[in-house]
Structure 1
């Protein structure tokens, strides 16, 4: 990358084209440019028209532009391509164009004077953001529903290494359990079922590009390096995304291979945690064109270590919860011509934790009989084929996901031998979707599609004694041995490992869906759609003890089918240019499955939600934006995990419920170099009609603390739903001398109080935490030095009141914030 010598005051990169303009007398050149990101599009257009096209700011290079085709000149092609993106082309001389932010297309402007220091341009304004997760391009200001778009260029390398935690830190409506990276569940808009990852499908659909990346598995927390954007759509999103999008969806769009440049990037960092061990991270990225305009490769590798900070008093160990992450991905893009693109990619990541990250008292320590390691291996393969005909686009994607999750929990009874509960989940998912969409210039558009999905989840569980010394007794090779008398003679008593029944669930889905937006009047938009899904469900108990046979008919296995139709309807009003008001109704659902407890094998039914939402959005240009929403959700046959008498999580339908939520987000730019953002979210939830299972769970509670809910209330609140949450962020840039600039980012996030789960055992308070951070970068576009600090106030808090479900009756469990940490990093571009 080079800094252009003759362009305006920003870091520029001329990324395309020949220096000479080619003018064909009598007719315009033939143009065919697919809908892609800006830097790739201008390379293609430049070669087809013979003009030279440059960028003033490399950060706008990742903006997605419209497809354009036909016999048109470069001026018209650029105008169509950039419409609605917040950037425009400026013709600086015959056959030479420069693209910059928020400037109308005009010929030959007078060049302004060049400042002493190249400064980063302001970020694109809110109303110019294109939401591609809608499956046909829609401007954020026109979208009938709440959405948040995080531009990948706004994520620092330190944030990218946090995975899904970085999304939670930037979007107030997103919440997470905090069992550990690779073990968590994500929630949006208060639609939260339970704290455990069992056979139930997630309430949040997660997507990597066009492929679903989870089903009935924990969040893989893929690292967010080299991503173009992250889009969060509040749910339900049943019409476009089907089952498992009750709370909404999170779509991560990776950067695509660039046909026009050879580039590389590397970074590394050292991290130091107060009260804990140091860590670090490193990574490298390369983009390599293989064949001009037709084939390119982009590859990334990374690794990181998060130092531990929890001490174990019983085992005499310090900083036990060290976590190691390694991963990488590669993408190959081919553009054979005539608007076709073919993308083949693979993604691998492994998260390995040495021990759990919970404590049992407020000094970052606990007493446990054994280590509780975990591992999440994640593998994703994806093939995406696209074809553009101007504003109409065909996408066909096929993805294969393989996920392996292994966890150990301390299940040692008070005063007894060390006992472990091991759970291994293997998830295989194959999905394929083909859709045809059209995006109009005035906000109208449509999409129709069909999809197939097959996922199999196998969960194996064991519950046994461990080979560890406890109180002078050693468990060794299947025998309990210990010293007897002064002679030191040994006695041996055999014991038996206890197997626990496992479960295998399979879901096959076939779907047809469609949605359309029409604009009958300039101030009115109507959106409607529906999704028809036929599902085949099957479940089977594994290694079933004979004693459990009477608890389930049909030999602990069964099959059934479901057919559901999910409608959606929305009305948008545009009474004034920057103002949009909307009303929206949509549904979502999850299929049922088979659940296994200590002494029962049972089916749980599918659950469903329906949500009505009203909202108001004001897009006031580049100075001020605000969005307000109010939503009410009804949830039928809620699937949730309870704790049975032995401490095992068991899935059941706990009744019907409702959620009322309200949110507001604001963005204000009081100064050209200062950007302020803030948002708050309020939730109120209740199980309005408890099921007999939940009532029985409360009735059976004879020990421990009193019931957390008064008897005259209709029911308990839903788990992990904070009554209030909010965040603020500030970003400021300033010149440093004549060669560098300084960027300062500061943030704070508050999460209100919630409860761990539903039921008398799980009704423990958590939350009410404040996390703060600041990041400083000094450098230019080629290299920089970064200083990041997190948890500035060194607060402990309690993010999650669970470590091991088997110890909940005897000890307090808290998951503290990571103590105050500092990261020093360096990055370089080549």
Structure 2
């Protein structure tokens, strides 16, 4: 129902004479004589028989209310028809005060900015003035859900080059940004200073504002990652300390959160846009050891969801979920950016990056494509005097991404994307303790390479108060992993079992002295050696879901998920040339075994959130799932030294089903305070072991599960200038999966080892000052075995109370940025960050073989940036104090005291240019 609304006097002071309201009560020019108008100043008078404009103190003299009552809709339409410019102007009135607006349930579908602003004004009862010429050709992705109107308006105008200038009386004028530096961290947002709380996230698989989402999570805009040098998972773990990145091999890493660290399937789900990506199983059935790591170029935002996300994200999200969301094509106009950087690494070579992004509209407001390309070289800094090599360990990443967005209807959007990344490391990325810093004694050269391609097609359709999303993805990931195998084979030189296999003797017959000498000579003749493993994984996933988009008394999401994943591994034991460490070609094959695996998953999921009493909501979620994993192995060439011939050609399978549940109560007494209490469940699929000399019982291991109990809060003070997020949690983890070594040390397999108890706390504080921002993120985890290890290894067993491997007690990041205005269109910023990760161990206790302790590490970065219009130049020093910063110290049958560390002190210079 339309209600008559008084126009505030400020509107007349802000508008030229030809502008008028298209809503209720516009000023007309009907000849109505008002003697008070004759007393008005000449420049405010249209004549004695014309209505005047109320200005300042003259408002009491001019009876504009009488004029409004005398105006008819017919005369208003006649006036607008006679003034084309006025007809092209939209102004909407409201009775509320924009300074303290309550949350509004918005439903604004994707479409033109003009239409979106019109709907915003109607739904928020806000006064907006803009010219259609100003917003022509611009589009917005749409917003939905309970939002603060200021935040909603900020979202609609984000990236458009427009701002909302607030005037007195609640009026907002939509104007072009002033000539100020364009760097996102310098330019204020339309509703005030842009903060992280302004981020609209999709953690619940529907849009919601970060500060109003009852999930323990962090979010970072892509525009804030690049200035910090955050281009990969390692850098992201220093920005988000709750994300633990642990090296598992050259250019390979395992992710963990909240102490949920184990072998097997990943414990942290990784999504690139709508595509979940997992690593290959390999010979050890350990997909989680190779987390997908695509460079963070042209990223819109990164969302990190802490704790089990079993109801919405399912398997491999029992510790949390990492979502990387790229910028989407914008049909509103051309744009792009280019960047080039140079890195000078202490103790090593130079590195650098070049990247470019272009956005191209094909049909205005309908179709656009967006492409990006990059090449980055991370300098090597490790020496190998055995071969006279310096500064090895260099890594080159090359990638491209192309995406197309088609909007055939304002409520329908179809997006297609493809991305590729190729990675090559020229040698092992570790060095050895006990010698000079950054020096390796490895007797072979073990480069690593991978080639990953991801393809996705997504449909989003706003159907009234509901959004339908249908997405399908496929990816193929090829990699060649090489490991020094010299130590493994050398340890078998005196093995009686190896000698018996070599001589073809029965198990109960010992070798003679002559046979032992022949066997030892055979082993020596095949040293040094390399384990050469080509691997390929392919996966097809599909998800169909329906979600509420803000209308109605409750919000909900329901959907179905399917996955078919398969991979293959060929594991060659090859002889290497002792003179240069390279593989002898043609291959001198010591042994070859192959493994094939398949994993099929299907699930139905849903979450519903409804109001119980004012300010309190309840959420119930569930995911019903089934999976089947199968594997087969073959040994075309038996390795007599390690005994792979004992593995018969056979196939094994395991399957399980069940449900993940979630229950939550959230209380929001005001828009600045949110508290929630939650219990949630997570799981990972089990699997099979294709490993020699295992019993039938050891061939299979069950899925592991956990329940997490969490109390969290999000508090905003001083109008949002101070943000405080905190969470306390306890996790009960049962049937925990962990890795064991075979008796010979040559093979690794998985088994369920019992239960673990994990307790922890997280706190995030951010303070935003007029020219600076300060932040602190701290996480504490105490993760321990709850019982003695159920399956003891040959070298020892974990006991109740032992800390879980590779889980530090403390991790934190302290940071701050100060902004300085150097000139009307030149600004500068100074930034500093300190990240700290506590010490951890590689085994449950010191009695287990290959126990190593990785000490605590502290990483300090400083940066200075100058921004002029669309240009930015950044000078940064990473690892300011040149700390060793060991990410992992590892010993195994493959080698002892291997140190994987972060790069030494690095001086970085980067030039950035934005085009629009």
Identify the TM-score tier after normalising by the shorter chain.
Answer: 0.7 to 0.9
The answer to whether 1:142 aligns with 2:212 is yes
Q: Which structure has the highest strand share of the two?
A: 1
Measure, in 1, the Cα distance between the counterparts of 2:620 and 2:168. 33
381, 387, 391: which one aligns with 1:315: 387
Q: Following TM superposition, by how much is the alpha carbon of 1:65 offset from its aligned partner in structure 2, in angstroms?
A: 4.2
The answer to whether 1:206 aligns with 2:270 is yes
The corresponding residue for 2:357 is 285
Please say if residues 305 and 325 of structure 1, whose CA atoms lie closer than 8 Å, have aligned partners that are also in contact: yes
Q: TM-score of the superposition, structure 1-length normalised?
A: 0.82
> Residues 683-733 of structure 1: CA distance to partner in whole angstroms, max 9, x if unpaired?
11112234442355406xxxxxxxxx7xxx515322221111111111121
Measure, in 1, the Cα distance between the counterparts of 2:583 and 2:454. 41
Please say if residues 179 and 357 of structure 1, whose CA atoms lie closer than 8 Å, have aligned partners that are also in contact: no
Extract unaligned runs of 5+ from structure 1.
Answer: 1-6, 8-17, 26-31, 69-78, 91-95, 195-199, 480-495, 700-708
Measure, in 1, the Cα distance between the counterparts of 2:456 and 2:168. 38
The corresponding residue for 2:767 is 668
Q: CA RMSD in A?
A: 3.7
Secondary structure at 2:732 match in 1: strand
Question: Number of residues paired by the alignment?
Answer: 746
Please say if residues 687 and 700 of structure 2, whose CA atoms lie closer than 8 Å, have aligned partners that are also in contact: yes
**CA 1:89–1:422 in structure 2 vs 1: closer, same or farther (change >3 Å)?**
closer
626, 645, 650: which one aligns with 1:556: 650
The corresponding residue for 1:374 is 448
The corresponding residue for 2:257 is 188
> Residues 47-78 of structure 1: CA distance to partner in whole angstroms, max 9, x if unpaired?
9999537999xxxx99964159xxxxxxxxxx
The corresponding residue for 1:468 is 578
Measure, in 2, the Cα distance between the counterparts of 1:589 and 1:22. 57
754, 767, 789: which one aligns with 1:655: 754
**CA 1:104–1:818 in structure 2 vs 1: closer, same or farther (change >3 Å)?**
farther
> Residues 168-216 of structure 1: CA distance to partner in whole angstroms, max 9, x if unpaired?
111121001124675111111111114xxxxx21111111112212253
The corresponding residue for 1:423 is 533
> Residues 471-492 of structure 1: CA distance to partner in whole angstroms, max 9, x if unpaired?
9xx996689xxxxxxxxxxxxx
The corresponding residue for 1:514 is 606
Moved more, 812-821 or 44-53: 44-53
**CA 1:556–1:290 in structure 2 vs 1: closer, same or farther (change >3 Å)?**
same
The corresponding residue for 1:689 is 787
Q: Following TM superposition, by how much is the alpha carbon of 1:536 offset from its aligned partner in structure 2, in angstroms?
A: 2.0
Where do 1:7-86 residues align within 5 Å? 21-22=87-88, 35-36=109-110, 41-42=112-113, 45=116, 52=131, 65-66=142-143, 84-85=151-152
Please say if residues 34 and 340 of structure 1, whose CA atoms lie closer than 8 Å, have aligned partners that are also in contact: no
The answer to whether 1:612 aligns with 2:612 is no
Measure, in 2, the Cα distance between the counterparts of 1:527 and 1:104. 41
Q: TM-score of the superposition, structure 2-length normalised?
A: 0.75
The corresponding residue for 1:565 is 659
Measure, in 2, the Cα distance between the counterparts of 1:305 and 1:819. 15
Q: Following TM superposition, by how much is the alpha carbon of 1:564 offset from its aligned partner in structure 2, in angstroms?
A: 1.1
Q: Following TM superposition, by how much is the alpha carbon of 1:439 offset from its aligned partner in structure 2, in angstroms?
A: 3.2
The corresponding residue for 2:126 is none
Q: Following TM superposition, by how much is the alpha carbon of 1:501 offset from its aligned partner in structure 2, in angstroms?
A: 3.1
Please say if residues 593 and 637 of structure 2, whose CA atoms lie closer than 8 Å, have aligned partners that are also in contact: yes
688, 696, 717: which one aligns with 2:803: 717
Moved more, 302-311 or 385-394: 385-394
The corresponding residue for 1:727 is 813
Where do 1:571-582 residues align within 5 Å? 571-582=665-676
The corresponding residue for 2:422 is 350
Structure number, greater radius of gyration: 2
757, 765, 772: which one aligns with 2:860: 772
170, 182, 191: which one aligns with 2:239: 170
Extract unaligned runs of 5+ from structure 2.
Answer: 1-13, 15-83, 92-105, 122-128, 280-286, 492-523
Secondary structure at 2:786 match in 1: strand
Q: Following TM superposition, by how much is the alpha carbon of 1:152 offset from its aligned partner in structure 2, in angstroms?
A: 1.4
The answer to whether 1:255 aligns with 2:327 is yes
Q: Following TM superposition, by how much is the alpha carbon of 1:817 offset from its aligned partner in structure 2, in angstroms?
A: 2.4
Q: Following TM superposition, by how much is the alpha carbon of 1:129 offset from its aligned partner in structure 2, in angstroms?
A: 3.5
182, 187, 190: which one aligns with 1:120: 187
Please say if residues 503 and 594 of structure 1, whose CA atoms lie closer than 8 Å, have aligned partners that are also in contact: no
**CA 1:47–1:368 in structure 2 vs 1: closer, same or farther (change >3 Å)?**
same
Secondary structure at 1:168 match in 2: helix
Please say if residues 164 and 173 of structure 2, whose CA atoms lie closer than 8 Å, have aligned partners that are also in contact: no
Measure, in 2, the Cα distance between the counterparts of 1:817 and 1:657. 30
Secondary structure at 2:838 match in 1: strand
Please say if residues 107 and 465 of structure 2, whose CA atoms lie closer than 8 Å, have aligned partners that are also in contact: no
Q: Following TM superposition, by how much is the alpha carbon of 1:114 offset from its aligned partner in structure 2, in angstroms?
A: 7.9
Q: Following TM superposition, by how much is the alpha carbon of 1:255 offset from its aligned partner in structure 2, in angstroms?
A: 0.5
Q: Following TM superposition, by how much is the alpha carbon of 1:376 offset from its aligned partner in structure 2, in angstroms?
A: 1.9
Secondary structure at 1:184 match in 2: strand
The answer to whether 1:445 aligns with 2:445 is no
Secondary structure at 1:241 match in 2: coil
Where do 1:403-552 residues align within 5 Å? 403-413=477-487, 417-440=527-550, 444-469=554-579, 497-543=589-635
Please say if residues 421 and 464 of structure 1, whose CA atoms lie closer than 8 Å, have aligned partners that are also in contact: yes
Q: Following TM superposition, by how much is the alpha carbon of 1:101 offset from its aligned partner in structure 2, in angstroms?
A: 9.2
